[in-house]
A and B are shown apart, each in its own frame.
Chain A
Amino acid sequence: MYKYDEYDHAMVAARVAEFSDQVKRRLAGEITEDQFKPLRLMNGLYLQLHAYMLRVAVPYGTLDSRQMRMLAHIARKYDRDYGHFTTRQNIQYNWIKLEDAPAILEDLASVEMHAIQTSGNCIRNISSDQWAGAAADEITDPRPWAELLRQWSSFHPEFSYLPRKFKIAVIAADEDRAAMRLHDIGIQIVEKDGQHGAAFYVGGGMGRTPMIAPLIEDFVPLDDMLSYAEACLRVYNRYGRRDNIYKARIKILIHELGADEYRRQVEEEFVHVKSLGIDPPKAEFDRIAKQFAPPPLDASAPDEIDRSDPDFAVWVDQNVAAHKVPGHAIVNISLKPVGGIPGDASSAQIDLMADLAEKYSHDELRVTHAQNIVLPHVRKADLYAIWQALDAAGLATPNLDLISDIIACPGLDYCSLANARSIPVAQKIAARFSDLGRQKELGELKLKISGCINACGHHHAGHIGILGVDRKGTENYQLLLGGSGAEDVSLGTITGPGFDEDGIVDAIERVTDKYLAERSEGERFVDTFRRVGMAPFKEAIYG
């Protein structure tokens, strides 16, 4: 885990003091909302449907138990006893009082956390693989590079007022667990001739104009990574459209320029940027990387799991993943109980997960973009004790990557941008498919729901995606099929006319029934869809 140095501490403390003064002036009526709004947004404080909402950054989704407990403390003391984990690996609080915001930021700073750059047209929280440092299939831990990017992008003077927000993901495995190619920049650490380098995919994103990022450079030496990223941003900052918010993301620029021309301009800029010496000296990178050293795991720990408790065995099969070190495992804690709100956790649950991390996972937790929590370094021998504790707290739903493991944005229940509610639809789908045997029969099926075109619920990337729209003041839900945010990245296609809240649940059932009727041996839903195409599904839905 990265620990703040004196610069980090000083920067965050200065920002807390600055924002405290700004809040005081706003409460005293010395500044208007128009003046205050950009200041509060720079500190992650939004005004949402019912109250202020604070978005707290969890860099690359990694946090320790002390930080996790602070998140529970904030939920308990300043909010309504729960938090909402987001698709950007962050956490949001929905009921924050303006006068409490400075104290909350102070509390966060005490555990090396903040809400800076969780809003605004800047480089947002760097996201990464939630299994980083533990995954059996990674070539290296991507987080030192993500941390380097975090430091580079924090308060970057040139990139604080970009044409639009900017999202970067870093992974180091062929399996993409971070929707890397649906980011403004997706970086994959790759190996070539025994050397590690960075493949740069630039210009992806969801929102109203979804695009898959094209490969711009297949191997940037890691010593040049920051300079190359800087060059990518500079070209965007120079030519990205500021006249039209809907065309301001880098994906539009690259689409209009073409990947080849964008690459040419980046290469030209890179030559200049490289001469500026922004890439860190090796000693500095080594200092960062050292803080992500693997925990001391005993490779001779027992590799067998006692599966005599059948409920435990079901959970192990679904929610536990292979660790790179024998005798160990990755535990995925589902925040998607049937009837629950995807991504929500109470302060007691957050505290419990912190306790389990401290006791069993070398003090580490991860937030996933699928709105779940991970204990990355667990001895297999401890799995049963962990499962028992999770089960007692309602956190042992064995549905990872199944149809009820739904990504859903807050939707019209909380969000002022939304056109339709997402959460009730997720709850109804989860209830319809609550039978675990049925879910397992359907196999991997990623269902994602957004309450508006901004796509915070990643509906374009769902094997089944749902987009809520406003049709003359009534909620209406469009259905998309065939998307993926993984290494087989693709964008979903709209099936046809939309549905009301109950109709969309029925439509999904017809789609899954059709899949079961059409699938070949070993095919996931998305595989069958790609093989047979939209027509049979459309016929099943609309007749």
Chain B
Amino acid sequence: MKLLTGNDLKTGFVTWWTGADWSLHIEDAVDVGEQGDAILAVEEAARRVNAPYIIAGEQTAEGPRPAHIKDRIRALGPTVRPDLTLKPADPAAGDWVI
């Protein structure tokens, strides 16, 4: 699968294309298939996202996961500060990242 990601303009936070909008949560991401470049162009022109790009991903039982370690770290937060990740209360939240 292919995922579309970028950073939020105001906060710089990592965001994922959900099919209709942008979400902070990788679980909301959708497979953009061959439409990625077209969506990217529209969203960038609309200035709703910073530095968008398309990545390879895979569908798992827990939801979509980026293929590359860099985007897996982007998806959750720094591995060395679990308290600063998107799921600070869940000690197992990062088990799939590394």
Contacts and interface: CB of A to CB of B under 8 A. Distances in A.
B10 A49 contact: no
Contact of B69 (A51, A52, A423, A473): A473
A427 interface: yes
B7, B44, B80: residue with the most chain A Cβ atoms closer than 10 Å: B80
Contacts of B59: none
Interface stretch (A26-34, A113-121, A350-358): A26-34
A412 B97 CA distance: 12
B10 A423 contact: no
Contacts of B80: 341, 413, 421, 423-424, 427
Contact of B12 (A29, A98, A421, A474): A98
B47 interface: yes
B79 A49 contact: no
Interface string A48-80: 111110000000000000000000000000001
A474 B44 CA distance: 30
B89 to A, nearest CB: 16
A47 interface: yes
B78 A50 contact: yes
Interface string A412-436: 1110001001011001000000000
Interface string B36-53: 000000001001001100
A45 B2 CA distance: 30
Contacts of A423: 78, 80
Nearest to A422: B80
Main secondary structure on A side of the interface with B: mixed
B13 A473 contact: no
18 contacts: A27-B9, A29-B47, A47-B51, A49-B14, A49-B70, A51-B12, A95-B84, A96-B12, A98-B12, A341-B81, A413-B81, A414-B78, A418-B70, A423-B78, A424-B79, A424-B80, A473-B68, A473-B69
Contacts of A475: 69
Given A341-B80, A423-B78, 9 more contacts: A33-B44, A33-B50, A49-B14, A52-B12, A96-B12, A98-B9, A413-B79, A424-B79, A473-B67
A158 interface: no
Size range of the interface on B?
20 to 34
A261 interface: no
Contacts of A414: 78
A51 B78 CA distance: 11
B77 A50 contact: yes
B1 interface: no
Interface string B51-84: 1000000000000000111100110011111001
B13 A421 contact: no
Contacts of B68: 473
B96 to A, nearest CB: 14
A23 to B, nearest CB: 10
Contacts of A208: none
A32 B49 CA distance: 10
B35 interface: no
